[in-house]
Amino acid sequence: MNPKDWCHEDVPWEPPDIIREVDRLTGLRKDSLKFSYLVIRRDTLSLRDIYGNNAFRVVSEPLISKGKIEFYVCSAGGRRLTVRLDKDKTDLNGSFERLKRGQIVSLQNIIDEGKRLRVEKDTTVYLLTRAKSPLTEKTHAAILTSKK
């Protein structure tokens, strides 16, 4: 894995008016917030401990091209490209195409090809968490208010 390939989240949001004004003045566009997780627990449990060795967090939107769909996922092993060829779609892995950024998923019988992971016909895709909803200005204001 390339040390520059680090796991991060990217959550869409509706920026407050002040941020929109800064964007307008600078020519930037902040339509999403990027961040990495820092989970501090009293126990020593990790994502792998809680959900098992085949648990991954989806960290990209779907990458769709002719004959395949791909996502970047992260786990203890780092950030990995995961691909399913259209010809390998089955009832066991059909939910792969509906994954959303931020979800935690279990991929059973996944093939490790070194640079990427491959979903085959007998790979089972289990959704372990739901995707987060976009951060709206109202939600953002509620978060800020709760920290006062």
On whether residue 113 sits in a domain, the answer given is yes
Domain hosting 89: range is 9-146
Question: Within a domain: residue 123?
Answer: yes
Q: Are 81 and 72 in contact (CB under 8 A)?
A: yes
Q: Report the range out of 14-18, 40-44, 72-76, 88-92 with the highest average pLDDT.
A: 88-92
Q: Tens digit of pLDDT for each residue in 95-126?
A: 999 999 888 999 999 999 988 999 999 999 99
State how many domains the chain has. 1
- Per-residue model confidence as pLDDT tens digits over 32-49: 777 776 778 888 887 778
The reported pTM is: 0.69
Yes or no: say if 51 and 128 are a contact pair by the CB < 8 Å rule: yes
Residue 3 in domain: no
Model pLDDT, residue 3: 61
Average pLDDT along the chain: 82
Confidence bin at 140 (pLDDT 50/70/90) = very low
19 vs 39: CA distance, rounded Å: 28
